[in-house]
Every structure is written in structure tokens, then in C-alpha cells.
Structure 1
């Protein structure tokens, strides 16, 4: 099973609070909601298509809790609630033991081994959405096959970045790109191997 990450980010790499400020998840962060002013129907449909494609979702605890409250109700949600509620969801958590959202399974303990077991299943796609901290961890543990970034033309200037200042290096191969009328850019890369660097000479 292919493990893919799909996240919305700003030009300066912030992946935090794209849909609005949430004091529970993002205490003290006041620049949330940077994606909403663009009001780009084509980009929304592109993101929805990404959510409708996978066989299962992999989520971090905070994102899972937020999505369950927001998307789990599935009332006039533009299709996102149906897309995620109707698929199996794997929750990475040390604290949640009995999830209530339909088709949810907790992954704890040796998370690396469990994710590798899921990836070893034939065919299909396991998708990470909205879980930037989990996405960083998966990259650092070299578990990611594909990276889909929907980049918004805004510089937030602060907030949690998807990629750390220091970490592993990765070679990326561009699979697909799309530019929307509002300046939003969708970039999909395959992840694998180390990049090459120019010699000192």
C-alpha cells in the first residue's frame, strides 16, 4: 500500500491552522485561516478528489479529534465528511484506546512496525491529511512514498512548518503539477533516495 501525505501549506511552509484559529489545537497562534480567503472552487474540488481516492486514512491524535467533530457529522460538508467517514481510519495515539468514530483503529506501541505492516498490504493508498507533526515523523522515518502539497500564495511569517529546519534530505520526483486561477499550486512528488549535491570544485 502506498503511503501518501497531502497537506495545505503557505509559501513559507506553514501547515498550521489553514482552516482557522483553534485555541485547543493551536494555542496562541492568531494567523490561522490563511486558506479560506482564496475561495477557489477548483482547488477545493482537487483537494476533495484527493480525499476520495485513498483506501484508508492515517491520522495524528489532534487532527483525528478535530476531524471527528467537524467531518464526522457529515452534514452539508461538501463531500469531505463522507470521504473520510466512509473509509478505514488509523489513529496514531498513545492516549486514545477506544475511538468512537466509525471504522477507526488505534496504532500505538511500535508505530513504525505497524505502519510498515499497512504498507506491506497489496495495492491501494494510505493517506495522511491535516497531521503535520505525524507527516514530519513519517518522513524522518522514511515511510513516505508520495508527497502532495497544495501551496497557497501567502507568507504567514510564523507558525509550525511542515519541514523542520534540520532533518533528513530527500530526492523528489515531480509526478504532477497544477496551477489554479487564484495562484494556488498543487505539486505531487514521489519520495525516494538521497539528492545529489554539486562538488566543492
Structure 2
């Protein structure tokens, strides 16, 4: 999911899926830039500002937020903790806590780092049928190959696809 723009795309079933996803979270892990965007929007909105999207706003404001950052020192959004130092250990500790999901939304550089460090248990991709001529890549141009198992896939009536994957180690290639 990529911020507020993607929230308005898709049909009612996709909107319900997005809302349910946020509601399942026990905590959110965000990169600094995504955190700043979310804090400036979701962190300041009221339920009247987001008709129909109240479940997302409530989840983001109620659940703990962890930010991977070496530059953010004094987060203003309530319930935010900055993770610094040994990020891999801090995230492994968060993942080891009992309960539900530690979710990452947006945060492309963080997602790349999590994938490269085998810290992703499941990945949900929403693909909106729009071609952008620019922008940041979700997957790096160079880096380790990663095999994925498809857990779920659907397409809504507006062409938005939802794919849920689980990492399956490094791919095995046939010998030439």
C-alpha cells in the first residue's frame, strides 16, 4: 500500500481489504520519510476528515509506531518509538513479541532492507493499473534474488490486483 493515493483506488472489496489489513496490525514499522508523510496526514486527521476510512485512521493512531531512522530524534506523533542502533536486532525483537502483525506500509527503502535481511514474513502488494514514468523502485536493481510463494491473488472490478506472497528462500536455477 502506498499512502493515501492508493486508498481511493479500487472497488468496495479492495477498500474493505485495506481497512481490514490496517485493523489487524498490532504495530506499524515505518521508514522515516513514510513516517513523516503519515504523521502529517493520518496523525492530524479526525474521523470527519476521512469518511469511510476511519478504521485506517484509528489503527494508525491507536497502535504503536516504530520508525527506522538515524535522523529522527523527537517524533511528535503519539505512540512513536524511533529505532536506532542495531536495526536488525530491534526488528527481530519486535517480531518476537506475542500477538498479531508488525506491518510496513510504503517505506520502499526499508522494505528493500528488510527483504535483503530476511526479515519479511509476508508481503501484500496492491498494484493499481497506472503507468508512472518516474518514481522509486520497490525492488532494487541489484541485490539478492528471492523466491516467493503466492498465498493469495485477486483482481477487483477496477483492475487493482492484490497479491500476497511469502518469502521462500533463494531461488534455485536450472544448470545451463
Question: TM-score by structure 1 length?
Answer: 0.78
Change (3 A) 1:168 1:127: same
Q: Is the Cα contact below 8 Å between 2:10 and 2:159 reproduced in 1?
A: no
What is the aligned partner in structure 2 of residue 32 from structure 1?
none
- Of residues 108, 112, 115, the one that matches 1:132 is 108
What is the aligned partner in structure 2 of residue 57 from structure 1?
28
Q: Is the Cα contact below 8 Å between 1:74 and 1:82 reproduced in 2?
A: no
What is the aligned partner in structure 1 of residue 94 from structure 2?
118
1:108 maps to 2:108: no
1:149 maps to 2:118: no
Q: What residue ranges of structure 2 are gaps of 5+ in the alignment?
A: none
More helix by share: 2
* Runs of 4+ displaced beyond 2 Å: 35-42
- Of residues 45, 48, 65, the one that matches 1:74 is 45
Determine which structure has greater relative contact order: mean sequence separation of CA pairs < 8 Å that are 6+ residues apart, divided by chain length. 1
1:38, 1:93 → 2: CA distance?
30
1:71, 1:123 → 2: CA distance?
24
Change (3 A) 1:133 1:111: same
1:188, 1:134 → 2: CA distance?
18
Q: What residue ranges of structure 1 are gaps of 5+ in the alignment?
A: 1-6, 9-16, 20-34
Give RMSD over aligned pairs: 1.8
- Give secondary structure in 2 for the equivalent of 1:174: strand
Q: Is the Cα contact below 8 Å between 1:145 and 1:192 reproduced in 2?
A: no
1:179 maps to 2:155: yes
- Give secondary structure in 1 for the equivalent of 2:13: helix
What's the offset of the Cα at 1:182? Answer: 0.5
What's the offset of the Cα at 1:39? Answer: 5.4
